[in-house]
């Protein structure tokens, strides 16, 4: 099996549940991106995210609504669009939504951007099944950006995914 680089991240780190569970309560807002970058390599941002706040060393993907991003934002690796009709559910009840890459900047690798979500509590076996599936179904890509949706955005789930990924 070919080696795929899987980068883990979340979308919208400003959501209240994520802020309360991930960041120390007394942490100044301006330190959050650097703190986040200690744990993650990538972040999915919205088009209206003020990029001047992000000076951390992160690979950013920007979600856009149309196939024509009017301006290229400095530091954004790829512009992507998610189409929910393209989502499918694994037997572990984890949904995967592949994004369409609208525009990619400064990269020679073939990349795939996925949003992962679940309405159910996921087990370690579910995470392992997800990663095995990604490694088999997306092996034509050099790099996979894997963004956990709100319901799966907890450090236990993401740390488990990182550990299992390292063991595969």
DSSP H or E segment with residue 128: helix 124-137
Quote the distance between the C-alpha of residue 17 and its chain's center: 17
Q: Is 44 exposed, middle or buried (0-12, 13-18, 19+ CB in 10 A)?
A: buried
pLDDT in tens, 27-56: 998 888 888 888 888 988 887 776 666 766
- Is the pLDDT score of 1 beyond 60? no
Domain extent listing, the chain: 5-167
Q: Is 154 exposed, middle or buried (0-12, 13-18, 19+ CB in 10 A)?
A: middle
Give me the percent of the chain exceeding a pLDDT of 70.
86
């Amino acid at each position: 099996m070919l080696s795929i680089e899987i980068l883990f991240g979340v979308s919208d780190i400003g959501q209240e549940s994520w802020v309360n569970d991930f960041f120390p309560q007394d942490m100044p807002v301006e330190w959050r991106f650097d703190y986040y970058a200690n744990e993650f390599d990538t972040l999915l941002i919205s088009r209206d995210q003020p990029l001047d706040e992000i000076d951390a060393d992160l690979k950013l993907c920007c979600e856009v609504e149309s196939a024509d991003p009017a301006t290229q934002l400095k530091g954004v690796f790829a512009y992507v669009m998610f189409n929910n009709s393209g989502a499918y559910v694994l037997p572990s009840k984890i949904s995967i939504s592949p994004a369409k890459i609208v525009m990619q900047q400064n990269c020679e690798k073939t990349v795939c951007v996925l949003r992962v979500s679940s309405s159910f509590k996921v087990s370690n076996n579910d995470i392992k099944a997800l990663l095995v599936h990604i490694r088999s179904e997306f092996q034509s890509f050099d790099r996979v950006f894997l963004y956990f949706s709100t319901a799966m955005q907890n450090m236990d789930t993401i740390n488990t995914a990182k550990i299992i990924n390292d063991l595969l």
